[in-house]
Structure 1
Amino acid sequence: MDILTLVGLIAGVLIVGLAMLANASLLTFLNLPGLAIVLGGTLAVTLIKFRLPGVMEAFKLAFSAAFIDKVERPASLIREVGTLANVVRKDGVLGLENHQTGNPFLRKAIALCVDGHTPELVEDALAQEAQQTVERYDVAERVFRGIGESAPAIGMLGTLVGLVQMLNTLDDPSSIGPAMAIALLTTLYGAFIAQLIALPLADKLQLKAEDEARNQLLIMTSVQSIMRGENPRVMTELLSSFVHPDQRSGLAPQREG
C-alpha cells in the first residue's frame, strides 16, 4: 500500500477541516444545494469530455495508483531477468516455461518467447502492450486534470447563481450576510475537490505511468538481450542504467543450480 498518499490525503483534509472549525461549526460550511451543483456539474462536464468506460477506468486506475503500490523496483526486475538469462543459457528458451513471476508484462514476454515466436514479433507485441498501457494512464490522467479544471469553474458558476438569488432578497438586509456565505461555499467546494483530490491524483497517475513505462522498457530491453544470447552479466551491466548509481550493487544475477 502507498501509505504516503493516504497520509497526505488525511493530513490535507484534517488541516483544512481544523481551519474551518476554528471559529465556526461544521454546519456553517455545509450547503447541500451548492455541493450538488459542484458534484453534479463536474460529473456532467467530465462525461461530456470523456467516454464513460474511460471515466470508470480512470477511477479504477487512480485508486490503484494512489493506494496500491504495485510497481516493482528496477533493481528487483534486473535481478529477475538476469536469472532468466542464466536459465536460457543453460536450458534454452523452453527452460523459462516453469518460471513464475508477479509482473504481468514480464509474464507475457516469457510466454511469447516460450511459444517460439521470432524476436521481431516478440518485440512488436511487447511494444504494442506498452503503448496501450501508456494510453490508459494518459486518459486517466486527463480525466482527473479535467476534473481539477472543471470543479473550480462549476464552483464559481454556483457562486454566481447564489449571488443572483441574494440580489433578489436585498429588501431584507439581515439575509445578505448568510446568503453571501452560502454563495461562496460552492467556490470552496470546487477548490477543495480540485486541489486536494483531483489534481494530486492526476500527478500520482503521471508518476505511476512513468514508473510503468520505465519497467516495461527495462523488460523489453532485457528480453531482446536474452534472445540475442548476450552474457547475463553484460546484460545486467547495461540494464544498471535504469537504477540510481547508489543502488547498483548486488545486481549481478544468481546462477540457478
Structure 2
Amino acid sequence: MDILSVFGLIFGVMAVLVGQSLEGGALSSLFQLTAFVIVMGGTLGAILLQTPWNVFSLGMRMLPWVWWKPLFHTVELHSQVVEWSKIARRDGLLALEPHVARQTDPLISKGLQMVVDGLDARHIHAALQVDIQGYERLSWPAARMWEQAAGYAPTIGMLGAVLGLVQVMERLGDPAQLGSGIAVAFVSTIYGVGFANLLFFPVANKLKFLVQQQIATYEMVVDGLLLISSGENPHFVQGKLEGYLS
C-alpha cells in the first residue's frame, strides 16, 4: 500500500473538516446527499458520454493503483534480462525457450519468443514498439479520464448551486424550507471543487506517472532483448539497462 497517497487523501479531507470546525460551522452541514448525487452523478454522466467503454473500464480498474501501487518489477526484470543475456551468450538463444512460458506479461513473452526464434533485431523492435504504443494509447486516456472528471466536477457543482437557488426562490413564502435549498446550493459547489482538487486531479497525475513508469519498464526489456538478439556482452547489457533503474 502507498502510505503517502493514503495520508495525502486523509490529510486533505481532514484539513477541510477541521477548517469548517474552526470557523464554528457544523460538520453535518457539509454532508448533503442531494449535492453529492448531483455532482457525482453529473460528472459520471459526462465522463460516460465522452469516453469509450474500454477506456472507462480500464480507468476504473486503474484507480486502486493510486493506493496499491502495481508491481512493475523493474529491478527484477533488469536482473532477469541480464541473466537471459548470460544464458544466450553461454548456451545460445534456443536455451532461452524454457523461460518464455514462465512470463506472465504478454509483451515480454512475445519479445522473448521472437529472440528465441532468431528474428532480426530490427523486426523485434518494430513489433514490440507497436505493442508498447498500443498499451500507451489505451492507458494514457484511461488515466486522463480522471483529469477530465476534475474539469467537469466544479461546473456540475455550479449547476447544483443554481438548482439549490431555484428551490430557494420557489420557497420564499415558506421560510422554514429555505435552509435546505441554500445548503444544497453551497455544498454542491464545495463538492465540485473539493472532488476535483482533492481527488480527481491527484488521481489523474498519479496514474499518468505510473503509466509512464510501466512504459519505461517495457522499453528497458525491449532494449535488453535487442542487445541479446545482437549477441552483446552481458556486462554491456547490464550497464546499459542500469540507466532505467534511476
- Category of TM-score, reference length = shorter chain: 0.7 to 0.9
Equivalent residue, structure 1, for 2:63: 62
User: 1:20 and 1:89 mapped to 2: Cα distance?
Assistant: 66
User: 1:13 and 1:111 mapped to 2: Cα distance?
Assistant: 49
User: 1:57 and 1:242 mapped to 2: Cα distance?
Assistant: 26
Alignment of 1:231 onto 2:222: no
Equivalent residue, structure 2, for 1:49: 50
Q: Report matched runs for 1:137-152 at 5 Å.
A: 137-152=139-154
Equivalent residue, structure 1, for 2:187: 185
Write the deviation string for residues 109-132 of structure 1: whole angstroms up to 9, x where unpaired. 212322444433322221111111
Note the residue ranges of structure 1 that are not aligned, 5 or more in a row: 245-257
User: 2:14 and 2:37 mapped to 1: Cα distance?
Assistant: 22
- Percent identity of the aligned residues? 29
Equivalent residue, structure 1, for 2:29: 28
After superposition, the Cα gap between the structure-2 partners of 1:233 and 1:200, relative to the gap in structure 1 and judged at 3 Å, is same
Equivalent residue, structure 1, for 2:113: 111
Aligned partner of 2:206 among 182, 204, 207? 204
User: 2:186 and 2:8 mapped to 1: Cα distance?
Assistant: 26
Equivalent residue, structure 2, for 1:89: 89
Equivalent residue, structure 2, for 1:248: none
Contact 1:71–1:208 under 8 Å retained in 2: no
Supply the AA of the counterpart residue of 2:60. Answer: F
Equivalent residue, structure 2, for 1:251: none
Aligned residues: 243
Contact 1:141–1:205 under 8 Å retained in 2: yes
User: 2:215 and 2:71 mapped to 1: Cα distance?
Assistant: 13
Supply the AA of the counterpart residue of 1:88. Answer: A
Alignment of 1:158 onto 2:160: yes
User: 1:151 and 1:236 mapped to 2: Cα distance?
Assistant: 47
Equivalent residue, structure 2, for 1:217: 219
Contact 2:108–2:221 under 8 Å retained in 1: yes
Write the deviation string for residues 127-161 of structure 1: whole angstroms up to 9, x where unpaired. 11111111122111221111100011100111011
More helix by share: 2
After superposition, the Cα gap between the structure-2 partners of 1:65 and 1:132, relative to the gap in structure 1 and judged at 3 Å, is farther
Contact 1:38–1:151 under 8 Å retained in 2: yes
User: 1:113 and 1:227 mapped to 2: Cα distance?
Assistant: 6
Supply the AA of the counterpart residue of 1:17. Answer: L
Equivalent residue, structure 2, for 1:40: 41
Contact 1:218–1:242 under 8 Å retained in 2: yes
Equivalent residue, structure 1, for 2:2: 2
Write the deviation string for residues 187-238 of structure 1: whole angstroms up to 9, x where unpaired. 1111122112211110011101111121111111111111000111122222
Contact 1:66–1:204 under 8 Å retained in 2: no
Supply the AA of the counterpart residue of 2:141. Answer: V
* TM-score normalised by length of structure 2: 0.88
